[in-house]
Chain A
Amino acid sequence: MRQKLAITGNEAMAYAMKQINPDVVAAYPITPATEIVQIFSQYVADGEVDTEFVAVESEHSAMSATIGASAAGSRAMTATSSQGFALMWEMLYIASALRLPIVMPEVNRSLSAPINIHADHSDTMGARDSGWIQIYCENSQEAYDSLIQAVRIAEKCLLPIMVTIDGFIISHAMEVVETFDNKEVQDFIGKYKPAHPLLDVKNPITIGAIDFTDYYFEHKRSQIEAMNNVMPVILKIAGEFQKTFGRNYGLFEKYMLDDAETAIVVIGSTAGTAKAAVNNLRKQGKKVGLLKVRVFRPFPAKEISEALSKLKAVAILDRSAGINAYTAPLFTEISSALYTQGKNPKAVNYIYGLGGRDIFVKDIENVYKDLEKIAITGKVENLINYIGVRE
């Protein structure tokens, strides 16, 4: 039976994991993702899932055990955040290069130092080129729906996938989430048939062999190609999801964008806050719009450029800093995409929300005000701007 539940982002993730019923989960707790595996371990203890739960001693071990389990031929998952994610680092690249379809909920949190437990995207943005598929969610419903789709995407593409929510803002906030029947979820994800399981002793293979100047490049080339092929798979599975469950997901979401003169591009929970700003300004007759990036890896460069092509000015909002004497990750990607696609709206970068600094509807309305000025004058005075920081 489908039911509406009042649950937090972490509860939604854990509930989806229960319904996915993976063969193996290896995990280590870290704020604000702790609840995901804590709740899941309760499902294990209560016999509600068939999962082998491995309580490991660190996130490095969590990812290592998940890699081992996935290579062996099981449907394997873990979950983490921030420093824990950082500790997984070297294993992230191994998971993707071994083409293991691991599914990982990730709760976006800032990185130390200074120590901070609150939301920003520094953790997963740092791993944007680790070969993982990345889906960023605006709210708990998207997280629940995306995690279910993620299993299919990963297993079809033979690539690992992370599905992220903003720490505390979503992970610890209760919202209404429509959940599906266990059987509906199981029918949708299907039975896992591993491509080359290590435990298939009749067909022995080597995994993780040495690969020097002779073939390393070819193997990397094929990994690049694997990522090149992901976007149509995401869209196909999103289409099936819509047919079965009703909600529509794309690579990104356009909100009031088609006739807009200025727009904001943003990732995660702030997209929801920005929608309220768009609604307010639309009521005043301003032609403003929004593009929310959902799939950041693979990066839909052509599609996003096309969607932004008619704008006079666009602001790209980053919840992580580049710290590179240039711009932040999302801006760098989008401005590069616009350039290579020959599209030329005036583009400007705003960095906001580091370490969980709140961003309000008013702050976003002010960005649109800046954009209006840029649209009129055709001049970008400050390429890089900051929202809500004391200078």
Chain B
Amino acid sequence: MKKMVEIRWHGRGGQGAKTAALLFADSAMSSGKFIQAFPEYGPERMGAPVQSFDRLSDEPITVHCGVTSPDIVAILDPTLMATVDVTAGLTDDGIIIINTPLTPAEIRKEMGISGKKIFTVDASGISKSTLGKEIPNTPMLGALIKVSGLLDIEKVLDDTRKKLEKKFRTKPELIEGNIKAIRRAYEEVRGER
């Protein structure tokens, strides 16, 4: 992996953008990476645009400033793209992963994005069918793992299962649901041809 990878998550307050960043960092740590995960703390309200960030590296990370030029942007809510400049600071070969049933080509046309690598996954749809409600952040992890190639999916699933078993001792259906959601998003995320 390149020296340090930076990821920016876009979501709406209450959608789990912070949790997604923390979960991804936690998985990355379990895979032996050095990590940082932190949300942007503004006047956050339910539904307001929010951001959170990850840093991953094979070496200790000392910087404690914000992420301004991410390598990857993950978007939990596609409606944000109309009002928030989600590509800000992203290099021309930067990666955008969007939670949407649309294809990357459709998104590119609709949003008028040139350059960048666009990937899409129907994380909301996957979470509805595997968890019974719309929690797009868990499946987005699967998509991010596939697209970034930074972590081993089987290792992450093993690790996630162990953590969920501790957390949801009385709700085994949530454990299986989450695991299935991550795996499906890993398999179903689409790039451009």
Question: Which residues of chain A have a CB within 8 Å of any CB of chain B?
Answer: 4, 6, 117-118, 138-139, 166, 168-170, 172-176, 269-270, 272-273, 275-276, 358-361
Q: What are some 22 contacts across the A-B interface (CB < 8 A)? A: A6-B22, A6-B25, A6-B35, A118-B41, A138-B62, A139-B64, A168-B38, A169-B38, A169-B64, A172-B38, A172-B39, A172-B41, A174-B21, A174-B35, A174-B38, A176-B34, A272-B63, A272-B64, A275-B62, A276-B62, A359-B65, A360-B66
Contact check, A269 vs B64: say whether CB atoms are below 8 A apart.
Answer: yes
**CB proximity of A36 to chain B, nearest CB, Å:** 16
Contact check, A4 vs B29: say whether CB atoms are below 8 A apart.
Answer: yes
Contact check, A174 vs B63: say whether CB atoms are below 8 A apart.
Answer: no
**B120, CB-defined interface residue at 8 Å:** no
Contact check, A273 vs B35: say whether CB atoms are below 8 A apart.
Answer: no
Contact check, A361 vs B38: say whether CB atoms are below 8 A apart.
Answer: no
Of the residues A4, A118, A174, contact of B36 by C-beta under 8 Å: A174
- A174 cross-chain contacts in B, Cβ below 8 A: 21-22, 25-26, 35-38
- A269 cross-chain contacts in B, Cβ below 8 A: 64
**B91, CB-defined interface residue at 8 Å:** no
Question: Which residues of chain B have a CB within 8 Å of any CB of chain A?
Answer: 21-22, 25-26, 29, 34-39, 41, 61-66, 68
Contact check, B41 vs A270: say whether CB atoms are below 8 A apart.
Answer: no
- A172 cross-chain contacts in B, Cβ below 8 A: 38-39, 41
**CB proximity of B142 to chain A, nearest CB, Å:** 19
Assembly CA distance A127 to B30 (angstroms): 40
Contact check, A270 vs B64: say whether CB atoms are below 8 A apart.
Answer: yes
Assembly CA distance A10 to B146 (angstroms): 32
Known contacts A4-B29, A6-B29, A117-B41; is A175 also within 8 Å of B36 by CB?
A: yes
Q: Output the nearest chain B residue to A356 by Cβ-Cβ distance.
A: B41
Contact check, A168 vs B64: say whether CB atoms are below 8 A apart.
Answer: no
Contact check, B37 vs A173: say whether CB atoms are below 8 A apart.
Answer: yes
Most buried by A among B22, B41, B62, B64: B64
Contacts A176-B29, A276-B62 known; list 20 others, CB within 8 Å.
Answer: A4-B29, A6-B22, A138-B64, A139-B62, A168-B38, A168-B41, A172-B38, A172-B39, A172-B41, A173-B37, A173-B64, A174-B22, A174-B25, A174-B35, A174-B36, A174-B38, A272-B63, A275-B62, A360-B66, A361-B63
Q: Output the nearest chain A residue to B21 by Cβ-Cβ distance.
A: A174
**CB proximity of A306 to chain B, nearest CB, Å:** 25
Q: Output the nearest chain A residue to B41 by Cβ-Cβ distance.
A: A168
- A166 cross-chain contacts in B, Cβ below 8 A: 64
- A169 cross-chain contacts in B, Cβ below 8 A: 38, 64
Known contacts A117-B41, A168-B41; is A273 also within 8 Å of B62 by CB?
A: yes
Assembly CA distance A270 to B38 (angstroms): 16
Contact check, A273 vs B41: say whether CB atoms are below 8 A apart.
Answer: no
Contact check, A175 vs B62: say whether CB atoms are below 8 A apart.
Answer: no
The 3 A-B pairs of least Cβ separation, nearest first, read: A272-B62, A173-B38, A269-B64
**CB proximity of A287 to chain B, nearest CB, Å:** 20
Assembly CA distance A176 to B25 (angstroms): 9
Known contacts A172-B41, A174-B22; is A276 also within 8 Å of B36 by CB?
A: no
Assembly CA distance A273 to B66 (angstroms): 10
